[in-house]
A and B are shown apart, each in its own frame.
Chain A
Amino acid sequence: MSKTVNLSMSQITPVITQCIENGSEVILTVTGNSMRPFLKDRRDQVVLVKAQPENLKVGDVPLYCRRNGKYVLHRVVEANNRVYTMLGDAQTDKEPGIEPDQIVAVAKAFIRKGKRYECDGSAYKRYVALWGFLLPIRGFWFKCYRFAARAYRKVIH
């Protein structure tokens, strides 16, 4: 017998912290679509481990807590003097000013459609490189995608 229990991040963060402090990796299902196309809401998972909050690199995907208490999993796109700028893969507006005390954990791998991709693996690295390369045209790309999706729906219905 199994059931699905939805828990808020503020409820489970102390437990996550305890697990990763013990050296465990923690698997969580992602919610929200700000990391699409790679991660889809409630379909995919992230594998989290203990982070070195003062030593994150561009491309790392930490779990961090905003000053308003909301927990977010986004990618580091700039790192200057231990202050980070974040951006979800499906976003175009950067979020600057994230500091080490806000970092809870960092992604070690992702589970996409049931398949595990390590962050130091070549397939994942290719995706990150491509997505970073496409960043300047990301907004334009999303517009085209939405336009195509709308057109597709019109043709179908």
Chain B
Amino acid sequence: MKLKDGFIKSKLGDECVVVPVGAQTVDFRGLITLNETGEFLWEILTEEKTEDELVKALLAEYDVDEETAKKDVHAFLDTLSEKGFLEENE
């Protein structure tokens, strides 16, 4: 899977916000913000990656156990998928 085109990640003050610039309607009430690890995963997902690859990348970059990393990656992907941000290749 990878991120769809048409999103920009923008620093607004202290917040990192994802804006769907190509969307018909950009509702600033519904924007998602990314924390540090979210931002890290977001960058990686600009290219085609599997869930396992994301977990591995997270483990390599952060001091976190595998179980937590798996859980976090899964939750993150769930959110992105729910919002329709992902291009999923079966």
Residues of A within 8 A of B (CB): 3, 5, 7-8, 11-12, 15, 18-19, 22-29, 45, 47
29 contacts between A and B (CB under 8 A): A5-B12, A7-B13, A8-B13, A12-B12, A12-B28, A15-B10, A15-B19, A18-B8, A18-B19, A19-B19, A19-B21, A19-B26, A22-B22, A23-B24, A24-B20, A24-B23, A24-B26, A25-B24, A25-B25, A25-B26, A26-B26, A26-B27, A26-B28, A27-B25, A27-B27, A27-B28, A28-B28, A29-B28, A29-B29
B29 touches A45 (CB 8 A): yes
A18 touches B12 (CB 8 A): no
Q: Closest Cβ of chain A: how far from B53's Cβ, in Å? A: 25
A11 touches B12 (CB 8 A): yes
List residues of B (4-53) whose CB comes within 8 Å of A's CBs: 8, 10, 12-13, 15, 17, 19-29, 33
Residues of B within 8 A of A (CB): 8, 10, 12-13, 15, 17, 19-29, 33
Cα(A3)–Cα(B25), bound, Å: 20
B13 touches A11 (CB 8 A): yes
Please pick, from A15, A24, A45, the residue contacting B24 in the complex, using a CB distance under 8 A.
A24
Q: Closest Cβ of chain B: how far from A105's Cβ, in Å? A: 12
Cα(A18)–Cα(B22), bound, Å: 9
Chain A CB count within 10 A is highest, among B13, B22, B28, B33, for B28
A15 touches B12 (CB 8 A): yes
Q: Closest Cβ of chain A: how far from B4's Cβ, in Å? A: 15
Cα(A108)–Cα(B47), bound, Å: 36
Task: Chain A residues near B15: list those with CB within 8 A.
Answer: 5, 7
B33 touches A3 (CB 8 A): yes
Q: Which residue of A lies closest to B11 (CB)?
A: A11
Task: Chain B residues near A25: list those with CB within 8 A.
Answer: 24-26
A27 touches B29 (CB 8 A): yes
Task: Chain A residues near B20: list those with CB within 8 A.
Answer: 24
Minimum-distance CB pairs A-B, first 9: A27-B27, A19-B26, A11-B12, A24-B26, A26-B26, A7-B12, A28-B28, A25-B25, A22-B21
